[in-house]
Amino acid sequence: MTTGSPARAALIALDWGTSSLRAYRLDADGRTLDTRHLPWGIMRLPQPLQDGAATAALSGFELAFEQACGDWLRAEPSLPVIACGMVGSAQGWKEAAYLDVPVDLKRIGTLLTVVERKGTPVHIVPGLIQRHGLPNVMRGEETQVFGVLFDRAVAGADSVLIGLPGTHSKWVNARRGRVTHFDTFMTGEVYAALRGHTILGRTMADAASADMAAFERGLKVAGAPAGRAGVLSTIFSTRALGLTGELAPESQADYLSGLLIGHEVASLADMLRQQGEQPRIVLCGEPALCQRYIQALRHYGLGTPEQAQDATERGLWHLAVSAGLVASPSTAIA
């Protein structure tokens, strides 16, 4: 948690997911003045004290909200509040209906769901749903996409592919500010499940540092002839290479990471070849994980992507401008 800032704020922005809550206090130009990170995701909320009469009537969402930004609002009661993520799911504070893809991003800001509460209302950003082909959904990532596309360096690009690596990696196609398609790869969650709950993890050992040579080896296997049998075939090589003495226990997790990311990016490269285009690629995510994806993208001939910074808070800011919650400063993208 950062210390308080004397600068005057214009907006409180919340990134409220399944496992955590991030709160941002932004000024009139969209710059971040303060940031707080709390463990109160929608599946784990604070509970009122049994003997606390003042808090007994408050829901877990209200208690988490109070901890995140209650003092900010008491200091500046007129601040608007915008939130994105799983807080708008059916299990969240209030469900914000999905918007259908394709969709113009600027339309998202006009369709916020409002949580009416005693005090400042909370405006929740809707997620996106893709109904053509296999259904696909996102919540929270649409705000990152908004932040990337309304950045000066990317605004106006004809074709952009935005990569959002994580537990459920998203690859979002956008053309001139319009989301046209997106794909989801459960790479991060599958990695955690395989390492923690299958026989593959039995021969692994924690390493002092990442073994990027083992990661590169996994990338290569995913794209080699053996990789054509698919990820369900290649992942067992993590154990077999260990049993034959070809892969140290400390290297097996990075090899598995390379295999899974390699299969993801190889599939992405195939899809782009079938589409016959090479869009501008922008990555947004945790830096160390993005570096792995950069290595994979280079390996599979997709070049070196750009990297976006602070996409969530930038997206929340631009959505608030689009919704009329804050005035558009002269520095904002039109």
CATH code, domain carrying 22: 3.30.420.300
Residue 310 clears pLDDT 50, i.e. is over it: yes
Q: Are residues 317 and 285 in the same domain?
A: no
Confidence (pTM): 0.90
**pLDDT tens by residue, 131-178:** 998 999 999 999 999 999 887 556 566 889 999 999 999 999 998 889
Residue 331 clears pLDDT 50, i.e. is over it: no
Q: Quick check: is 333 in a domain?
A: no
Query: What share of the chain has pLDDT > 70, as a percent?
Result: 92
Q: Are residues 298 and 319 in the same domain?
A: no
In degrees and rounded to multiples of 5, residue 164 shows phi and psi of: -125, 80
Q: Are residues 26 and 141 in the same domain?
A: yes
Q: Are residues 276 and 316 in the same domain?
A: no
Q: Are residues 26 and 112 in the same domain?
A: yes
Q: Are residues 297 and 315 in the same domain?
A: no
Q: 36 is written with which tokens?
A: 């707080």
Q: Are residues 136 and 261 in the same domain?
A: no
What type of residue is 319?
L
Q: Number of folded domains in the chain?
A: 2
Q: Are residues 286 and 208 in the same domain?
A: yes
Q: Are residues 192 and 138 in the same domain?
A: no
Q: Are residues 211 and 265 in the same domain?
A: yes
Q: Quick check: is 23 in a domain?
A: yes
Residue 334 clears pLDDT 80, i.e. is over it: no
CB 249 within 8 A of CB 130: no
Q: Are residues 202 and 296 in the same domain?
A: yes
Q: Are residues 82 and 205 in the same domain?
A: no
C-alpha dihedral over 312, 314, 319, 324, to 10 degrees? 140
Q: 277 pLDDT band (50/70/90 cuts)?
A: confident
Strand 306-307's sheet: what is its strand order?
103-104, 178-185, 169-175, 160-164, 280-283, 306-307
Q: How far apart are CA 194 and CA 181, in angstroms?
A: 29
**pLDDT tens by residue, 80-136:** 999 999 999 999 999 999 999 999 988 999 999 999 998 899 999 999 999 998 999
Element (H, E) at 54: helix 53-56
**Structural domain containing residue 236:** 187-307
Which of helix, strand or coil describes residue 256? helix
Q: Quick check: is 1 in a domain?
A: no
